[in-house]
């Protein structure tokens, strides 16, 4: 019954918006709202599923006009709280015990209510004040039904609306479904809270309220209650210190932990009386694998150094731009973008804006950017907005320069100083990190059963000998080159003992490189061939 009712509601809402839009385009109506605002209002009337769908669509900034991005980001799911007695029953069903056995007190009047869950204040028997987050009863079934109906509607509409196909709406609906079902599972949020609480335990700048006594289930989560001033409260002082602490915390999360709080808007950030920033609501958590973190670090360093060629290579590696784009035109576009930054005050530099502009490069209009990068970009927009609210004069670029080197070194990818050799050092560090794995795979193949890496060519002994000599010379040449590079890096870093101001390790590397070079030259001279 609910499915049939929702199908009618969704069809009427879609027909109403499309009819209104057609009338506006035909100039039969003088609208009070823009098409983007009207779309936002329509989605809000349809409820939680469609608000979340709109917010997910709003991640695709590279595909949508700015007016639609603003409208979709501003979507609010305005819902009334559900009865406290129903929340009490959900808690008892989740933990299999009466509320009186779990808590000394439980306030049935909710502290806050949202479309997915609402929060109640309670007190444990040991006196600790906690919040009890209770998921709305039946919301999972409603979300699944809504998205199934929406998918069916899109299948009917797509053949008649070619322009919609470039957004890949069916794939987007599937993506939103997976993310939304993950978001409403409070067990996933509890695990995220535990991970972040452990990571920032003892931090003088960041506090994450822990989960209480393993009290969490799919529909209920119990967490220590921690209040404070919202980060955008006018009474918040010491904005410069807080802005720097927040940037530090996100560098740590993104590059060291590989997971980060993906919704850092002011409603989820509080300033405690002890001056620490309290992170709330881990329903949306971003994750970055090691390789993505490497490429993202390269992107940031290229941006800091205003190196358009490196920035393009890092963007290709991240999957931000299409591989078949016109490289010369892309480099011209990036040069223009970075030149614009060079003439702007450092306080106006934006990594998130640069990510978006790179995504909009020619050839990327039909590219499906990975979801984890879209989530990261939205988090960075929110983070930059919050940081600038705390300290309008905060220079994000200067903050990255001062802190990125230490954090990236902890992540195992130290770029060194930002100078003309920054890219070489960074790429050399990444390659060095991969060498043990490469060597391990080669040794396994050589030691395993079968021919391994050996190749035999019957009757081609002379060619084999020639290739063997050529391979040896190439290996010696590469070894010599590597030693020269290593010597140069050791010389620049001034590592180890010195003799008359010169690092001995660097001299040793140069000496070995020269010896291999002379051996190679002598071998070529004896053969009479280059």
Closest CA to 368 of 58, 63, 51, 150: 63
Side-chain half-sphere of 51: how many Cα atoms within 13 Å? Answer: 15
How many CB atoms within 10 Å of residue 27? 7
DSSP letter for 134, please.
Answer: E
Task: Name the packing angle between helices 35-46 and 48-57 (round to 10°).
Answer: 140
Round to whole Å and give the CA distance between 72 and 91.
33
What does the block give as tokens for 124?
């444990």
Annotated catalytic residue 313: no
Distance of alpha carbon 283 from alpha carbon 322, whole angstroms: 31
State the pairing for strand pair 220-224/206-207. Answer: unpaired
What is d(CA 28, CA 25) in angstroms, rounded to the nearest whole number?
8
Nearest-angstrom CA–CA distance, 210 and 198? 9
Q: At what angle do helices 48-57 and 139-157 cross, to 10 degrees?
A: 60
Count Cβ atoms below 10 Å from residue 441 Cβ, excluding itself.
Answer: 10
Cα torsion through 358, 363, 364, 366, rounded to 10: 160
Question: What interhelical angle do 351-359 and 290-304 show, nearest 10?
Answer: 100
Cα distances (angstroms) measured from residue 515 to each of 363, 499, 518, 521: 49, 21, 5, 10
Taking the C-alpha atoms of residue 455 and residue 393, their distance in angstroms, rounded to an integer, is: 64
428-436, long-range: CB < 8 A, 24+ apart: 428/485, 428/489, 430/294
The active-site residue out of 248, 263, 313, 333 is: 263
Task: Assess contact for 90 and 220: CB atoms under 8 A.
Answer: yes
The answer to whether the CB of 269 falls within 8 A of the CB of 280 is yes
Dist. CA 463–CA 141, nearest whole Å = 69
Distance separating alpha carbons of residues 119 and 129, to the nearest angstrom: 13
Tokens found for residue 329 = 């035109």
**Taking the mean position of all CA atoms in its chain, how far away is CA 464?**
50
Please report the sign of the dihedral spanned by the C-alpha atoms of residue 59, residue 60, residue 62, residue 64: negative
DSSP secondary structure, 250-285, as one string: HHIIIIIISEEES---GGGEEE-TTSPEEE---SSE
Q: How many Å apart are CA 415 and CA 280, to the nearest integer?
A: 33
Residues annotated as catalytic are 263
């Amino acid at each position: 019954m609910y499915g049939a009712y929702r199908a009618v509601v969704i069809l009427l809402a879609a027909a109403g918006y499309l009819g209104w839009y057609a009338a506006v385009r035909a100039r039969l109506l003088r609208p009070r709202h823009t098409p983007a605002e009207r779309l936002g209002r329509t989605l809000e009337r349809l409820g939680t599923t469609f608000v979340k769908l709109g917010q997910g669509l709003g991640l695709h900034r590279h595909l949508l006009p700015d007016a639609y991005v603003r409208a979709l980001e501003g979507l609010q799911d305005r819902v009334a709280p559900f009865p406290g007695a129903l929340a009490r029953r959900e808690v008892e069903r989740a933990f299999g015990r009466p509320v009186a056995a779990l808590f000394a007190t439980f306030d049935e009047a909710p502290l806050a209510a949202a479309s997915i869950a609402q929060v109640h204040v309670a007190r444990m028997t040991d006196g600790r004040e906690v919040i009890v987050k209770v998921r709305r009863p039946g919301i999972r079934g409603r979300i699944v039904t809504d998205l199934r109906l929406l998918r069916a509607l899109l299948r009917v509409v797509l053949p008649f609306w070619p322009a919609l196909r470039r957004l890949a709406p069916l794939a987007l609906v599937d993506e939103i479904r997976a993310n939304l079902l993950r978001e409403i599972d409070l067990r996933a949020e509890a695990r995220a809270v535990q991970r972040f609480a452990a990571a920032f335990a003892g931090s003088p700048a960041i506090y994450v309220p822990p989960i209480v006594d393993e009290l969490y289930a799919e529909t209920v989560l119990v967490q220590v209650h921690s209040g404070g001033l919202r980060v955008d409260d006018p009474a918040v002082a010491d904005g410069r210190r807080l802005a720097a602490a927040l940037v530090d915390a996100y560098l740590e999360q993104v590059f060291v932990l590989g997971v980060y709080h993906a919704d850092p808007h002011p409603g989820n950030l509080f300033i405690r009386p002890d001056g620490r920033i309290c992170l709330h609501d881990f329903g949306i958590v971003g994750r970055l694998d090691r390789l993505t973190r490497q490429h993202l670090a390269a992107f940031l360093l290229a941006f800091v150094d205003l190196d358009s060629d490196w920035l393009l290579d890092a963007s290709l590696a991240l999957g931000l731009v299409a591989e078949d784009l016109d490289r010369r035109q892309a480099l011209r576009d990036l040069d223009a973008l970075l030149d614009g930054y060079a003439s702007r005050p450092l306080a106006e530099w934006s990594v998130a804006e640069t990510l978006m502009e790179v995504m909009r490069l020619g050839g990327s209009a039909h590219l499906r950017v990975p979801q984890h990068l879209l989530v990261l970009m939205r988090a960075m927009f929110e983070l930059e907005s919050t940081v600038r609210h705390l300290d309008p004069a905060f220079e994000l670029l200067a903050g990255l320069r001062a802190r990125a080197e230490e954090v990236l070194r902890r992540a195992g990818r130290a770029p060194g100083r930002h100078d003309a050799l920054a890219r070489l050092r960074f790429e050399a560090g990444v390659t060095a990190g991969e060498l043990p794995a490469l060597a391990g795979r080669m040794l396994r193949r050589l030691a395993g059963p079968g021919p391994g890496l050996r190749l035999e060519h019957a009757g081609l002994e002379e060619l084999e000998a020639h290739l063997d000599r050529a391979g040896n010379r190439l290996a010696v040449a590469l070894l010599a080159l590597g030693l020269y590079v290593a010597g140069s890096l050791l010389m620049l870093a001034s590592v180890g003992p010195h003799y008359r101001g010169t690092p001995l390790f660097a001299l040793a590397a140069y000496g070995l490189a020269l010896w291999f070079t002379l051996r190679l030259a002598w071998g070529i001279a004896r053969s009479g061939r280059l």
